[in-house]
Structure 1
Amino acid sequence: MSKADYFNHMTHDKQDPNPFLAIYLDQSIPFNEEAKASYLKDCSSRSRQFLLPVLRPLSRLLIILFQLYKIIIPKAFTSSKMLHRFLYWGMKTFVSPDANYMILRHFYLGSEILQFIRDNIPGVQVEMNPLKPTNLEPIKDDLFLIHDLNLYNFVINLNKQLREKNMEVMKQEKLNFDAITSSRIPIEGMPNRRSNFLDLMTAIECFTPVYQFFLTDNDFWRATNSLQLDETIGILASKVIGSNDRLALINNKHPMVPLSTLRAGFRLVLHGLATEQLHALLVELKHKQAA
């Protein structure tokens, strides 16, 4: 059974309509149907309903305490390798299959979006480092950290070339969609034991202070500030496409105004949704151009 069947077979009770069914059926926002079903099914879990309200304030308290700790001992216990092995263990042991599926999709789609932008700016040659994990194993190889570095390096290297060559990002009459996968993303089945119960948002809130603890203060600030590059990537894509009507869907805005790390977990979820929506739009445009 496909992930979408969960909602396609759901009974509609007019006296008690399911809010997630309403969002799933709504097509005003571009979103891959399987991913949308996975995300909304995950949001409707008991973990999201009952655990998140308890764990979120505790998580944010830990972020404050670790920030004070980092001021006193800035580089104690820092290890990206240990962090990613812990994340791998935590995702494999506690995170729900739908949440893990969405996390791996994010790396895959993010790499495709950056390559799409690069491919549609004639005259630039930006070296890419695509991340396309199909299972949890690559997480142990600094996957989250490399994802952030890729984003910064792409923005820096692209804009250096644009400045050096006195170029502007312009609308392309015929778009190059070679980077965009319009078929199913080949992600393998995720662990599905009784312990795999944490929904995406609760898992992110739990892992954020762990992320902070094992990274230097500079690395954690850089990682959280990367979320506000959503608007930068959205603007680049809109210039290439020649339309900015979907930029209103981006919630992590203005990279020149750094935000507190306290809401990093919530903003990370918004970052993932922005990536899904932009990629879905590119798939939609790819089909239209092919037709």
Structure 2
Amino acid sequence: MSPHPTPDFLAQPHDERDPSPWRALYLDQSTPLPDDVKVAWLTDSSSKSRQFLLPFLRPLARTFIILFQVVKVFVPRNWSHSGLLHRFLAWGLQHFVSPEANWLILRHFHLGSQVLAFIGANSPVPVTSNPLAPMNIAALKDDLFLKHDLNLFNFVIRLNTALRAQGLELCKPDHVDFSMIRDPGLRLEDMPHGKLNFLDLQSAIELFTPLYQLMLTDNDFWRAANSLQLDETIGIYTATLLAAPEHLVLVNNKHPLVPLSTLRAGYRLVIHGLSTEMLHSLLDRFKRAQAVGVAVNTTSGPTPAD
């Protein structure tokens, strides 16, 4: 099987009286996404599952979030079954979620880890990170979703503690280190392709979010939901190191100091995933430009490096 089979919105001829919105989004180059990622993302977004199933699943899932919040009032505050949750999530991804969605989910752990490593390596006070790089769905059973959220908050704390201790601030280094930015090496054809692997990314996230709330402590679930607020924070760090603040327009999960309701956590998680893909793609673009001795100019293309 081809790793990225041609989707319907590209296989069908262009009809000017009925243009495909997905074709337009694929051809548009205003946002930095590799073609293979864009094809997978738009194939998932244009699926029948997202079109017909998601509108019913979303309000149902949000209702369960409210009900489970009431249930959690009557259980011990430290009640948690993270291991069982992650085994169930891995089982659901393996048997019901589309190949494109699974590929994007696994990529997210790699890309997020690489972005944190980039910030840590280029900080005036180098800070280590704890990379997560699952190569298959089974690896997610090791509490990887929970570890992903913990890594993010712990990294922000370690980075800013180190900067404050030495009275320093982030700034563009003389030489930006992009060595950690690379393709994760995951292949779409290695993802499950069973007859029941039809569920799109957003529908899967909406379904899994209430279970995430039910089977974790309130602290873990709140932290997971509000880790999405740090998208702008990570975007600011990266833009500062690149001296390219205009790229913050690609990150939009609202202000980090204003926590939002957990009811919209599923939708915001999708935005988080897309923001990470774009940020990583941007770093890869800068890395390739550095390798050939040009500087990235978002308004007029590559220009000679200083």
Give the TM-score of the pair, scaled to structure 1.
0.96
Structure 1 position 149, deviation (Å): 0.5
Structure 1 position 116, deviation (Å): 0.6
When residues 147 and 76 of structure 1 are mapped into structure 2, their CA distance, relative to the original with a 3 A threshold, is closer
- 2:52 is matched with 50
Q: 1:1-291 alignment to 2 at 5 Å?
A: 1-3=2-4, 5-6=6-7, 8-75=10-77, 78-124=80-126, 126-181=127-182, 183=183, 185-187=185-187, 189-291=190-292
Alignment check: 8 A CA contact 2:103 2:186 kept: no
Structure 1 position 254, deviation (Å): 1.4
When residues 46 and 259 of structure 1 are mapped into structure 2, their CA distance, relative to the original with a 3 A threshold, is same
Worse-superposed segment, 26-35 or 183-192? 183-192
Structure 1 distance, partners of 2:234, 2:199, is 30
Letter in 2 for 1:50: F
Worse-superposed segment, 98-107 or 129-138? 129-138
When residues 187 and 74 of structure 1 are mapped into structure 2, their CA distance, relative to the original with a 3 A threshold, is farther
Alignment check: 8 A CA contact 1:66 1:209 kept: yes
Runs of 4+ more than 6 Å apart: none
Aligned length, in residue pairs = 289
Structure 1 residues 64-99: Cα deviation after superposition (integer angstroms, max 9, x where no partner): 000111122244862100000000000001100000
Higher relative contact order (CA 8 A, sep 6+): 1
Structure 2 distance, partners of 1:127, 1:90, is 33
Structure 1 position 175, deviation (Å): 1.1
Alignment check: 8 A CA contact 2:83 2:142 kept: yes
When residues 256 and 76 of structure 1 are mapped into structure 2, their CA distance, relative to the original with a 3 A threshold, is closer
Q: CA RMSD in A?
A: 1.5
Structure 2 distance, partners of 1:138, 1:2, is 21
Structure 1 residues 234-274: Cα deviation after superposition (integer angstroms, max 9, x where no partner): 00000000011111121112111111000000000000001
Q: Any gaps of 5 or more consecutive residues in structure 1?
A: none
Q: Any gaps of 5 or more consecutive residues in structure 2?
A: 293-306
Identity percentage of aligned residues: 55
Alignment check: 8 A CA contact 1:4 1:38 kept: no
Alignment check: 8 A CA contact 2:124 2:168 kept: no
Structure 2 distance, partners of 1:191, 1:9, is 23
Structure 1 position 12, deviation (Å): 1.2
When residues 237 and 220 of structure 1 are mapped into structure 2, their CA distance, relative to the original with a 3 A threshold, is same
Letter in 2 for 1:223: A
Structure 1 residues 118-156: Cα deviation after superposition (integer angstroms, max 9, x where no partner): 1111333x2321011111011100010000010001000
